[in-house]
């Protein structure tokens, strides 16, 4: 297995099965620290820089929370408009990263341009973590989701995972790549204009991922062990920032998971993951059903990132 120390986390394409489980083992060892709401000193003396060119609630703050839980330091920006990359100068990724690499021991970056974290990694002598790049990938979200399955279901194999929503989404891409390492099946459902592209499906074929494409969640939910959701009323992920949703657009029933649908058609032991934020595809009254696991995901996201940061910064082997 390749060492994690100093490794960029840009994509889950190419990750081996043993690497997922090694990360999850390290995360699970560290989990009691977060469970007890304590901080440790495992990464004392190390600093994480969060460079977020797009809005985020979960991804940025869970990286920062993980670093604090391990006694490390955090600095960064959450609004590129307040940096030289977002004003008159439009400073390039290369010039920006040549600065940032001296300010920290790892850089967690979200960007509206697909490939921007990979470009940053070319110029950085410290590891770069892709926290979402345009419509590209979102590796730390899917690692969070898989760690949640590992902890909640005890397995990532033998599952039928219904992935419903916008298949242009970066999470959907990373989920597909990751599934090449697990003996589970994907059922992909989304509106025609948000369907997986033929190029992406060809990649899944090449990676020997078991999947099929369906049209309506109501026809397939009874098969699902895991219902993985993304909105279809969606922001443009190639934009730096979209102001408030204008209220137009409602999610068609074919891509919605309601309390009634769960009661009448879903398996009793199925669970729902959602990377959040949500729109109307997942009504709030689902939150109190036994299927909901998206709040647990918030906790597991911190724990997984504790493991990941400990590994790439050399505090765990
Ligand atoms: N899941 C996710 O990426 O959420 P944020 O946009 O709030 O980081």
Residue 187 has pLDDT above 70, yes or no: yes
Whether residue 11 lies inside any domain: the answer is no
Is residue 307 in a domain?
A: yes
Instruction: Specify which residues 208 forms β-bridges with.
Output: none
| 70 in a structural domain | yes
Q: Residue 22: inside a domain, yes or no?
A: yes
pLDDT at residue 286 tops 90: yes
Q: Residue 35 sits in which domain range?
A: 17-138+301-312
Question: Which of 25-39, 48-62, 241-255, 264-278 has the weakest average pLDDT?
Answer: 241-255
83 and 228 together in one domain: no
Query: Within 10 A of 204 (CB to CB), how many other CB atoms are there?
Result: 19
Same domain, 276 and 152: yes
Q: What is the pLDDT of residue 236?
A: 79
Is residue 305 located within the same domain as residue 291?
no
Which of 21-35, 225-239, 267-281 is predicted with the least confidence, judged by mean pLDDT? 225-239
Q: Please give the pLDDT value at position 248.
A: 64
pLDDT at 87: 86
- In the prediction, which pLDDT does 243 show? 72
- Assess whether 125 and 72 both reside in one domain: yes
The crossing angle, in degrees rounded to 10, of helices 139-152 and 294-312 is 110
Is pLDDT at 156 greater than 70 in this prediction? yes
Are 42 and 130 found together in one domain?
A: yes
CATH classification at residue 191: 3.40.50.1370
Is cis: bond before 235, omega within 30 of 0?
Answer: no
For 84-95, what is each residue's pLDDT tens digit?
999 888 999 999
Question: Ligand 1 in contact with 274 (CB < 6 A)?
Answer: no
132 lines ligand 1 (CB under 6 A): yes
What is the number of helices (H) and of strands (E) in the chain? 10, 9
Question: Would the pLDDT of 9 be above 80?
Answer: yes
> Which atom of ligand 1 is least distant from the CA of 54?
6
% of the chain at pLDDT higher than 70: 99
Residues 6+ apart with CB under 8 A from 292: 271, 272, 286
Identify whether residues 237 and 280 lie together within a single domain.
Answer: yes
Write the residue with the smallest CA distance to atom 7 of ligand 1.
57
Say how many Å lie between the CA of residue 10 and the centre of ligand 1.
16
Q: Residue 57 CA: which ligand 1 atom is closest? A: 7
Lowest-pLDDT choice from 36-45, 72-81, 178-187, 232-241: 232-241
Examine the domain organization and report whether 165 and 181 are in the same domain. Answer: yes
Q: What does the mean pLDDT of the chain come to?
A: 96
Mean of pLDDT values over 260-265: 98
Do 111 and 45 fall into the same domain?
Answer: yes
Residue 8 falls inside a structural domain: no
Q: Taking 70 as the threshold, does the pLDDT of residue 152 lie above it?
A: yes
The pLDDT assigned to 241 comes to 72
Tell whether 155 and 272 lie within a shared domain. yes
Is 284 within the bounds of a domain?
A: yes
User: What total number of domains does the chain contain?
Assistant: 2
Q: What is the pLDDT of residue 38?
A: 96
pLDDT tens digits, one per residue of 220-249: 999 999 999 999 987 777 877 777 777 666
Name beta bridge partners: 250: none
The verdict on 145 and 233 lying in the same domain is: yes
Q: Distance, CA 275 to ligand 1 centroid (Å)? A: 7
7 CA to centre of ligand 1 in angstroms: 22
> Euclidean distance between the first and final Cα of the chain, in Å?
11
pLDDT exceeds cutoff 90 at 136? yes
Whether pLDDT at 316 is above 90? yes
Q: Which H or E element spans position 277?
A: none
Residues 133 and 143 in one domain: no
**Residue of 50, 51, 57, 64 to test ligand 1 pocket, by largest number of atoms within 8 Å of CB:** 57
Domain co-membership, 170 together with 127 = no
Domain assignment present for residue 289? The answer is yes
Please tell me the predicted confidence (pLDDT) of residue 60.
98
pLDDT in tens, 48-60: 999 999 999 999 9
- Sequence-separated (6 or more) residues with CB below 8 Å from residue 132: 54, 56, 59, 110, 111, 138, 141, 170, 237
Place of tokens 């709030």: 284
**Does residue 209 lie within any of the structural domains?**
yes
Extract the runs of DSSP E, i.e. beta strands, from the chain. 47-52, 73-77, 106-111, 128-133, 160-164, 185-189, 210-214, 226-229, 271-274
Please tell me the pTM assigned to this model.
0.96
pLDDT, average across residues 180-202: 97
Q: Residue 242's pLDDT is what?
A: 74
Residue 154 pLDDT > 70, yes or no? yes
């Amino acid at each position: 297995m390749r060492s994690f120390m100093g490794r960029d986390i840009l994509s889950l394409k190419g990750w081996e099965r043993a690497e997922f489980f090694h990360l999850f083992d390290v995360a699970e060892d560290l989990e009691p620290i977060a469970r007890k709401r304590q901080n440790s000193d495992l990464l004392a003396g190390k600093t994480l820089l969060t460079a977020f060119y797009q809005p985020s609630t979960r991804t940025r703050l869970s990286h920062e929370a993980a670093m604090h839980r391990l006694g490390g330091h955090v600095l960064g920006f959450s609004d590129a408009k307040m940096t030289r990359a977002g004003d008159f100068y439009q400073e390039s990724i290369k010039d920006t990263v040549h600065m940032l690499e001296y300010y920290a021991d790892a850089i967690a970056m979200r960007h509206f341009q697909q490939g921007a974290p990979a470009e940053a990694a070319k110029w950085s002598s410290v590891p770069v973590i892709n926290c979402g790049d345009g419509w590209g990938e979102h590796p730390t979200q899917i690692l969070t989701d898989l760690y949640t399955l590992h902890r909640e279901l005890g397995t990532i194999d033998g599952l039928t995972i219904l992935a419903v929503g916008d298949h242009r989404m970066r999470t959907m891409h990373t989920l597909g790549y990751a599934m090449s390492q697990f003996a589970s099946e994907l059922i992909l459902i989304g509106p025609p204009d948000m369907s997986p592209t033929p190029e992406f499906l060809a990649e899944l074929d090449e990676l020997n991922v078991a999947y099929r494409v369906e049209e309506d969640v109501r026809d397939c939910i009874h098969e699902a062990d895991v219902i993985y959701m993304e909105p279809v009323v969606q922001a443009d992920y190639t934009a730096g920032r979209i102001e408030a949703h204008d209220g137009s657009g409602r999610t068609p029933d074919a891509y919605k998971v309601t309390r009634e649908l769960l009661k009448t058609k879903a398996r009793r032991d199925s669970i729902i993951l959602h990377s959040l934020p949500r729109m109307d595809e997942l009504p709030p009254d689902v939150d109190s059903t036994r299927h909901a696991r998206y709040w647990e995901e918030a906790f597991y996201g911190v724990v997984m990132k504790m493991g990941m940061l400990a590994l790439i910064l050399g505090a765990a082997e």
